[in-house]
Amino acid sequence: MAIVKLGIVDDNKPLCDLLYEYFLAQPDFVVEIIAHNGYDVLKGLERPGLEIDVLLLDMIMPGLDGFTLLKHLQNQKDFKRFKIVVFSGFLEDELMKKMADFHVDYYIIKPFNLEILGRRLRQIVLSPANVYQRVSTKDYQNNFNKEILEEITKIIQSIKIPTHFKGFSYLRDAIFLTIIKPELLNEITNKLYPLIGASYQSNEKRVERAMRFAIETAWNKANLDVLNNLFGYCVDDNKGKPTNALFIAKIADLVRLKMKYRVRVS
């Protein structure tokens, strides 16, 4: 059995304790570092003989924050010796672009399910190198994938996005593709939008706008209780509507959890 060695960096000490207790109970995980700011993790990584496979990293921390830590790591020759998984309580397209620039392998939105996190980490570490491959229409064909699409469709319909909107189809396909290819979430603008655009003989800008319009329509028409149930803290008059990226990521995780779906990697 392969062992996944972890580093955890978050200023939320109760969360770190929760993660430690969870991974302690998993026979294939070992926690090598727990740190509460960027300075501590840099010191920890200097420990002789230390090896980790994945660094779990919060972005907002006192002192040396996540982005500054990533800059330090990027300047080190051994930066690519481990994977980077980012925790984030919010998600915007600009944030995703920065994470792609820093070679972040995956991100997960807070609050998250520990079982899903464990599955993601196993997939990230034990699968082949994170190389993007175009998802062909054959991925839609088997019965289980049809069940996933039906579940996605049901959720999108529940928030009152009209099925005849182009954004409905674009969002449905984007959610499905990010379930079977999680790495696409790191490159929504550069890869996911063009991939969907090509499937519908459109382009990435039209795909992005159509998704945005569909989401805005949902927030104007849907029942607030339904939105709160699906998106929780994301539904907030002060924060406004979720970005395309956050909308896709949240529903993808909801479907994964409901279907207990282990991500396939080509």
CB-based burial label for 175 (10 Å; 0-12, 13-18, 19+): buried
Q: 3-state DSSP call for residue 33?
A: strand
* Amino acid letter for position 189: T
The reported pLDDT for the residue numbered 261 is 42
Per the CB < 8 A criterion, the answer to whether 61 and 37 are in contact is yes
Domains in the chain, CATH or no CATH each = 4-126 (3.40.50.2300), 137-259 (1.10.10.10)
- What is the three-class DSSP state of 57? strand
By CB atoms closer than 10 A (0-12, 13-18, 19+), residue 173 is: buried
Return the number of other C-beta atoms located less than 10 Å from residue 82's C-beta: 19
Indicate the burial class of 146 (C-beta count within 10 angstroms; 0-12, 13-18, 19 or more): exposed
Q: Are 70 and 102 in contact (CB under 8 A)?
A: yes
Q: Taking the alpha carbons of 120, 123, 125, 129 in that order, is the dihedral positive or negative?
A: negative
- Half-sphere exposure at residue 175, Cβ-oriented, CA atoms within 13 angstroms: 29
Helices (H), the chain: 13-24, 38-45, 66-74, 93-101, 114-126, 143-158, 166-180, 193-199, 204-221, 224-231, 244-259
Rounded to two decimals, the pTM is: 0.52
Tell me how crowded residue 197 is: count the other CB atoms within 10 A of its CB.
18
Query: Which stretches in the chain have pLDDT values below 50?
Result: 128-143, 235-238, 261-266
Whole-number Å distance between alpha carbons of 80 and 86: 15
pLDDT at 92: 58
Residue 188: enclosing H or E segment and its boundaries?
A: none
Give the DSSP per-residue string, 95-158. HHHHHHHTT--EEEESS--HHHHHHHHHHHHHSSP----PPPGGGGTSHHHHHHHHHHHHHHHH
